[in-house]
Chain A
């Protein structure tokens, strides 16, 4: 009997998700024994033409990490969707838009201008910008077009499952592979992780007071952090109350507050909104000016509360679904 065929592809990502596969350590041998990797550009030499040659639905499962922000990535997402029976958004960028999604705070024009003209390390006297098509002595060459907006995978193609995290915790990957191999999968659309917030069973939970109100927001690199006490109770912006558990409290155990990479639980429509309204509620003041002054100390609220999910937020969900319908797909 032939082994199920599996693909693993990357779009706008940092490579961390691939690292998380490597983090399987010796367990990767069990995986390799159980499945055939038929597409895995980071590790194995397959070409796009190999995928195109497959019959539709030939792959039992394909995991895509990284956000979608170019015509090429969109085309690959559509291609892999056709070839895979189960399409899994792997990691925060694919799941919610991830850190690349913060680019949605700017338009394409200003991003290109910053990168190709304004940064101090740029030397570009001709102000040359990437073009979809460029004539060179050898003929015409094409480049993917950068989209107006960064999107999560499910804003481009239908997605069956999500494995969250930046990068996904190894245990979630192991559990997901086991579920795929045994066919014991939850309803489509599920996030393959627990559906309770991180505070559940947090090792620091006993030190969190029942009536927690915060007098001052602190930043982790500027203060000494008590390694035992609830980080929120110390005034650090720990997003554990709003964030899906399943990471094994990796940051908490490393004495750092949760930054929210696993995204919201299934009942929350807008992660940043939920996190902000919870934290703002804990500000220990009834005086408007004082509250404003306290909130002012939160540096970069968009980057704090929407660090991993701006494209999937209510602000961009609708716009993201409508923008970039056209564009050149090589």
Chain B
């Protein structure tokens, strides 16, 4: 693996001005002269833009004319241009891994204001790179074939959109959803802003396409257990929870639900946000996909106590009910993964002054979505808990968002959702509607116009963060009502607005298990807990793990159009990877020097990719090069220096350290 070069080392050092980015802080000519003086350096030059064609040609010319066998480019971060310069070196006939970059922009000129100090720092980094590059040896990238199937995790609108696009492109797609039905939050909504088209009408055709598409395997009520492998070759274990109903036999007639020994619903209905009760055997919602009933093991008498008349079994003409069903485990291989795991809503109880959970007529936005919906618990009638129609309704924005006590970020959709809700409530009940907002954010296509429309419809807008929702009446008009106390910052007075119903526009927040999912897929989270994209501008759906892409709210709060657009982008990225057919693997893998390994096994349990095994015959550790991701954990832990890593050998690291400290 290590092929020493016997020719004397001849290094070329190229110091980039990066326009004024570097040259304004670093004395590039001084640095060049310093580099020229270092042992082994055969040529040292500066140029305005080393990454430009003339810059690259300068390096290539020197490789040929000066017989260079090592190149150091002192410019920006290797994340930006390492590939550029590797390509340039390779085109001139040099092994691209004889290149080393010294980052004198991000690590020097952009962060060190003093010119003398910056110049000294640049010298030190170049000295380190020159010392290190002498120890480099040729390496080659390996090509690995890509598995053509794609996994989509999460069956909300983002996951549905990505899965359909990929399946329509002829790719095999696995769509895994944790709930018994796909549809996600969008299936719970009544109408969508700003066009007011019916959410179900635009979503359910897509849901049924998922169900019938020949290229899609849909696993609902299933969770990802384990992810191993790497871009192009992931191995994923999926756990399918028992629904106690044979999916392939059930036609969704729901005769079993009517027959259940419980005549009335007993358990709070998740889909209706607890505003109605369901039976232990239930259909999640009328358009549930797959249209298959499910038995809840936490309330079914047969499962909990083993005793029940089992009327459901009697009622099912297709013998689909199966109390013997057990958890199933499936293992699939995919080339790319799209995470579309969505969000949960902020728990309004965390802001006790708004009274959610204390006052029956304080609702969350999602609850009122169900009340407005014709398929909801009231058949679309907006009524209070006692069945009365509200005369006045207050909608409070930013509940849990833009709040230092909870989430500093803006949840992006609440302004528009609140406007839509104001419109629907007014339309259905004729009630007077107040919106309490901090700033109105209506920034995308048609949004401002919709705001304008709702204003014209006579909805009242009060600018100010609500201080309190109380039932303490101090005027007769407030008796029996909820009073919203708020400083109207446009007028400059504290107001008390009595209402019958309060709607809280709760924040979007990361799923409860987002951190566990993040670890499972080996990706990163941003500070707010949402999954982190590779680059906010240029890699918005990629992650720091190659082959894993993001779509929808799991990456950050966004509305349906943005989620769908991102799903399209993620599908395109996954398609690019899978259709290319191969991935190139950076040769920074670890290896074991068999002659040095004592077989102590320290490294084996540490490998996060399970790439290390023990050769029982030779009594040494063996690293599977295809599984190794080059994290270096085993190399650092090896107590006898038997584990090494390409591109990071001990000699390279020590020489780099000595170089950087040479002038200290």
Contacts and interface: CB of A to CB of B under 8 A. Distances in A.
Interface of A: 195-201, 205, 208-213, 240-242, 245, 264-269, 274-275, 277-278, 281-282
B596 A240 contact: no
Contact of B600 (A197, A267, A277): A197
Interface in B100-144: none
Contacts of A277: 636-637, 639
Given A242-B640, A274-B640, A278-B639, A265 B596 contact: yes
B604 interface: yes
Given A196-B640, A265-B641, A277-B636, A213 B605 contact: yes
A197 B650 CA distance: 18
In this complex, which of B604, B614, B640, B654 has the most chain A Cβ atoms within 10 angstroms of its Cβ? Answer: B640
Contacts of B605: 210-213, 282
A211 B606 CA distance: 8
A209 B619 CA distance: 13
B614 A210 contact: yes
Contacts of A240: 600
Given A210-B614, A277-B636, A268 B641 contact: yes
Interface string B618-653: 010000000000000100111111100000001000
Contact of A241 (B596, B600, B619, B650): B600
B601 A267 contact: no
11 contacts: A196-B597, A197-B600, A197-B639, A241-B598, A266-B641, A267-B641, A268-B639, A274-B639, A275-B639, A281-B637, A282-B602
Given A212-B605, A267-B650, A282-B605, A274 B599 contact: no
A269 B654 contact: yes
B144 to A, nearest CB: 26
A117 to B, nearest CB: 39
A209 B638 CA distance: 16
Interface string B438-462: 0000000000000000000000000
Given A195-B596, A210-B604, A212-B601, A241 B636 contact: no
Main secondary structure of the interface of B (DSSP, over half): loop
B600 A281 contact: no
Main secondary structure of the interface of A (DSSP, over half): loop
A241 B602 contact: yes
A197 B602 CA distance: 12
Given A242-B640, A267-B641, A269-B654, A278 B598 contact: no
B483 to A, nearest CB: 47
A213 B613 CA distance: 15
Nearest to B636: A277
A89 B605 CA distance: 38
A264 B596 CA distance: 12
A197 to B, nearest CB: 4
A271 B105 CA distance: 37
Contacts of A281: 602, 606, 633, 636-637
Contacts of B614: 210
Nearest to B621: A210
B639 A241 contact: yes
B596 A278 contact: no
Contact of B601 (A208, A264, A266, A274): A208
Contact of A199 (B596, B600, B606, B636): B600
Given A208-B601, A210-B614, A200 B619 contact: yes
Contacts of B601: 199, 208-210, 212
Given A211-B604, A267-B650, A269-B654, A199 B641 contact: no
Interface residues of B, number: 23
Contacts of B619: 200-201, 205
What 9 A-B pairs have minimum CB-CB distances, sorted nearest first?
A267-B641, A242-B639, A197-B598, A241-B600, A278-B639, A199-B600, A200-B598, A197-B640, A281-B637
A242 to B, nearest CB: 4
Given A199-B598, A278-B639, A282-B602, 10 more contacts: A197-B598, A198-B598, A200-B598, A205-B599, A208-B600, A241-B598, A241-B600, A241-B639, A274-B638, A277-B639
B50 to A, nearest CB: 35
Contacts of B606: 281
Nearest to A276: B639
Contacts, number: 79
Contacts of B640: 196-197, 241-242, 264-265, 267-268, 274
B273 to A, nearest CB: 36
Contacts of B650: 267, 269
B135 to A, nearest CB: 15
Contacts of B636: 277, 281
A249 to B, nearest CB: 12
Contacts of A205: 599, 619
Contacts of A195: 596
A13 to B, nearest CB: 27
A275 B637 CA distance: 8
A137 to B, nearest CB: 54
A194 to B, nearest CB: 10
A251 B517 CA distance: 47
A212 B641 CA distance: 19
A206 to B, nearest CB: 10
Nearest to A196: B598
A277 B602 CA distance: 10
B301 to A, nearest CB: 41
B99 to A, nearest CB: 27
Contact of A278 (B597, B599, B638, B654): B638
Nearest to B620: A200
Contacts of B642: 267
A285 B613 CA distance: 22
Contacts of A278: 600, 602, 637-639
Contacts of A201: 619
A199 B599 contact: yes
A268 B644 CA distance: 12
A279 B640 CA distance: 12
Nearest to B602: A278
B641 A274 contact: yes
Contacts of B638: 274, 278
Contacts of B604: 210-212
Nearest to A211: B605
A139 B150 CA distance: 94
Nearest to B604: A210
Nearest to A200: B598
Contacts of A266: 641
A205 B636 CA distance: 22
Nearest to A195: B596
A99 B18 CA distance: 55
A44 B641 CA distance: 42
Contacts of A274: 638-641
A213 B605 CA distance: 7
Interface in B281-296: none
Nearest to A198: B598
A171 to B, nearest CB: 18
Contacts of A196: 596-598, 640
B515 to A, nearest CB: 12
Nearest to A240: B600
Interface string B388-414: 000000000000000000000000000
In this complex, which of A199, A211, A212 has the most chain B Cβ atoms within 10 angstroms of its Cβ? Answer: A199
Contacts of A268: 639-641
In this complex, which of B601, B613, B636 has the most chain A Cβ atoms within 10 angstroms of its Cβ? Answer: B601
Nearest to B638: A278
A213 B404 CA distance: 41
A212 to B, nearest CB: 6
Nearest to A242: B639
In this complex, which of A196, A213, A282 has the most chain B Cβ atoms within 10 angstroms of its Cβ? Answer: A196
Nearest to A275: B639
Contacts of B600: 197, 199, 208, 240-241, 278
A201 B597 CA distance: 11
Contacts of B637: 277-278, 281
Nearest to A281: B637
